[in-house]
Structure 1
Amino acid sequence: MAVRVEVASDLLRWAVERAGWDEEAIERRAPRLGEWLAGTQQPTLKQLEKFASDTHTPFGLLFLPEPPIEELPIPDMRTMGNASVTHPSADLLDTIYLCQTRQDWYRTYVQENRAAEPDFVGSASTDSDPILVADRMRELLRFDLPERRAFSSWEDAARQLIDRIEQIGVLVMVNGVVGANTHRKLNPEEFRGFALADPLVPLIFVNGADTKAAQIFTMVHELAHIWLGESAVSDTAMNAEDGVDDELWCNQVAAEVLVPLATLRSDYSGQPDAEELERLARKYRVSTLVVLKRIFDAQFLSWEDYRKRYAGECQRVVEILSARRGDGGGGNYYYTQPIRLSRQFAQAVITSALEGTTTYREAYQLLGTKKHATFENLADELGVA
């Protein structure tokens, strides 16, 4: 006879909420959950183990008397209706923990190789002039408008920006799933990105499930957090009158880096219709939402008109994301994995393993692979011999 296990109903509800399951997912993945919650039947040990695995819940936590309070390991600066967001999902938590593990390894690697600290980490405060900080950032990144005209697409612009941020000493990881698990897709409505500040090995993560244009803004926004010398989870919302000072400042810096206000004033035709938004978005390689915000910043729109137009444009962006959400970050593994991992980080891990400093087993774990053939192919893709 199968052994049945008593579990508090609150813990079952907590695990489902943490996993972000809707009614359809519950019916498909845990059809007997209703019976377990009602207490008419308890799950077997095997059923509970599968439930824990499917909800990405540590098995032992299901035996607690009540749900644990899980807090983000870094400051949460996201806002929704100007209120802080609570109850981080398992996907967000696991992504942060994974990036922290990789950052810890890379810090040791860099220390052993005596690399210099980037001088911009913590060099600014929210009292710093966003325009001056943006000028310095564009200068370091070589990402001014003349350089951007050579980019063939938003994807090309994003790749170029990633490379340039890594060249100044910041790891950049862009991923639309948790690790390499294409069944665990990240939700851009929960978070756009986060920064892990460190004086030696700063890291930024961008939610790759977002549009390419939105990813570019998030990348620069998170880089602004590195300039402040602070770690943070962000949503980069641009339609709030007030909110966390740090987030508002980072938005100002990112907007000025990508769409300098002085330039926009001369470029803008005077009519914020869809055609004009798309034209400017293509020119600056940003999202139409960023363009709309800059038109407001230039005082061409009232606050009420801006909010109305912003809401309509957000809806259009959501529809684009919904159409894309099925892809889960597929494609050529050896093209996408270096972007997910950070090319700089992946090259360091492979080099360290080939030199014998890091074991192959640890290298596989850090790179998210289990096969040596995959390791070798990734090394070839990254040009590590």
Structure 2
Amino acid sequence: MADKAYITPTVLKWARESAKIAEETAARKVAVTKEKIKEWENGESQPTIKQAQTLAKVYKRPFAVFFLSDIPKDFQLLNDFRKNGSKPLTTSSIFIIREIQQKQAWISEANKENNEPKLPFVGRYSLNDNPKDVAADILNTLSLNPSNYQFENPIKEWIESAERNGIFVSRTSFIHSKLKLDSEELQGFAIADPFAPFIFINSDDWQAPQLFTLVHELSHIWIAESGISNDANPEAINKGKFHPIELFCNEVAANALMPEELINRMRSLLNLNSKELFSAAKKIGVSSYALLVRLLSLKLILIEEYNKLKKEADIEFYEFKQRENEKKLKAKVSLGGPSYFLLQLNRNSRLFTQTVLDAFRGGTIEATLASNLLNVQANKFNKLEAQIYK
């Protein structure tokens, strides 16, 4: 007879519910009935040690947690700034938020212990300030110029600049192969901590919306408002529908990515057709929609022109997505998809990865903790580190 795990029933139930996992799903993972899960959670019977270990892995909790006498204090869910009626956060979103909170808490505590100074830009502004001023300060702090990017892909430049300034940026679209992130549910979130600000970007979408989300989340840090977003969208202008913080951060992002002076210059050179609009938008890393909305808000085009170009841009964007999907498919077939270690590097953030590896090599932390923070086995650290320099 297999050894029983004398877990605390209320803790087992809390672990499942906090992971937003249904009884049926939990039962399927350990090949038992839904009624058996209820029995364990009511204390009427106990799972085997192997079953409890499986559930710990499914719920993404340490096995030892199940044996605590009471429900432990958990990370508080971030403020939810998404509009009313948004999709409820599901298991994948809960897991990625918890994972980033764990990383952020560790690095923040480490920086405090090392007497690192607070980052001066966290909370430098508030909702009472002009979004244009906040945007200008972000560009100045990160030493970025949207009219003169160094890379063909602007999001790369933004992430590198953010991390050089102590802002950790994580990007992924999945927890594992069977648990994907939905960009309609969660585009990104920010933890505006002065010792270790952390941004997460859902890479489920294509790169222009990701860049807008990144700058939107930077705005959250500049006004010290930690929270979850799925309205990082230049078209989110209905003030009765969206949270004031989201509207403010969208305005900041629009001003940072498309400064008025730059858009005025671009407009003077643009013949207003969808192809030129698409080309101009791609150059500065935004979508045609974002550029159109910006042109309209600055009164550089009429509403009739906006509506006409938006319809044309829909067709142009559809064709672009088809081409991009074909490229991805060919790359996947020929190369077998991106490296596992590159995916983990982006998920951890390059800056966070290097910081953890330095702490491990310097003997500050144990291999087990480093492995847990990086989602990579300790004997594979050299492969992960190799991706940093590629």
- Shorter chain as denominator, the TM-score bin is 0.7 to 0.9
Aligned to 2:162: 165
Give the match's secondary structure for 2:200.
Answer: strand
Aligned to 1:231: 226
303-312 or 268-277, larger mean C-alpha shift: 303-312
Query: Could you report, residue by residue, the CA deviation over 1:136-180 in whole angstroms, capped at 9, with x for unpaired residues?
Result: 1111212213431x322x3xx2222111001112111111112xx
Aligned to 1:251: 250
Amino acid across the alignment from 2:345: P
Give the distance between the partners of 2:193 and 2:122, measured in 1 at CA: 7
2:96 equivalent to 1:98: no
Indicate which of 168, 172, 177 corresponds to 1:175: 172
2:276 equivalent to 1:281: no
Matches within 5 A, 1:43-192: 73-79=77-83, 83-85=84-86, 87-148=88-149, 150-152=150-152, 154=153, 157-178=154-175, 181-192=176-187
Query: Could you report, residue by residue, the CA deviation over 1:162-202 in whole angstroms, capped at 9, with x for unpaired residues?
Result: 11001112111111112xx2332211111111001112111
The offset of 1:313, in angstroms, is: 3.7
Indicate which of 361, 373, 378 corresponds to 1:354: 361
The offset of 1:272, in angstroms, is: 5.1
Give the distance between the partners of 1:119 and 1:195, measured in 2 at CA: 17
The offset of 1:335, in angstroms, is: 3.0
Amino acid across the alignment from 2:285: R
The offset of 1:312, in angstroms, is: 7.1
Amino acid across the alignment from 2:348: L
Q: TM-score, normalised by structure 1?
A: 0.74
Aligned to 2:298: 298
Equivalenced residue count is 348
Give the distance between the partners of 2:34 and 2:274, measured in 1 at CA: 51
Give the match's secondary structure for 1:145.
Answer: coil
Instruction: Please report the RMSD computed on the Cα atoms of aligned residues, expressed in angstroms.
Output: 4.6
Give the distance between the partners of 2:106 and 2:121, measured in 1 at CA: 22
Give the distance between the partners of 1:49 and 1:174, measured in 2 at CA: 31
Q: Where does the alignment leave 5 or more consecutive residues of structure 1 unmatched?
A: 1-10, 21-25, 38-44, 60-69
Query: Could you report, residue by residue, the CA deviation over 1:21-77 in whole angstroms, capped at 9, with x for unpaired residues?
Result: xxxxx9xx89x99x979xxxxxxx89x989978985989xxxxxxxxxx99711111
Query: Could you report, residue by residue, the CA deviation over 1:251-282 in whole angstroms, capped at 9, with x for unpaired residues?
Result: 11111111112321231266654213212112
Matches within 5 A, 1:269-348: 273-299=273-299, 300-302=301-303, 309=310, 313=314, 316=318, 323=325, 330-348=337-355
Query: Could you report, residue by residue, the CA deviation over 1:294-336 in whole angstroms, capped at 9, with x for unpaired residues?
Result: 1221222439955993897498499669948987x94123333
Give the match's secondary structure for 2:121.
Answer: coil
- Percentage of matched positions with identical amino acids: 27
Aligned to 1:42: none
- Indicate how the Cα distance of structure 1 residues 207 and 321 shifts in structure 2: closer, same or farther if over 3 A, else same: farther
Contact persistence 1:126–1:249 (CA under 8 A): yes
Q: TM-score, normalised by structure 2?
A: 0.74
Contact persistence 2:274–2:313 (CA under 8 A): no
- Indicate how the Cα distance of structure 1 residues 349 and 247 shifts in structure 2: closer, same or farther if over 3 A, else same: same
256-265 or 193-202, larger mean C-alpha shift: 256-265
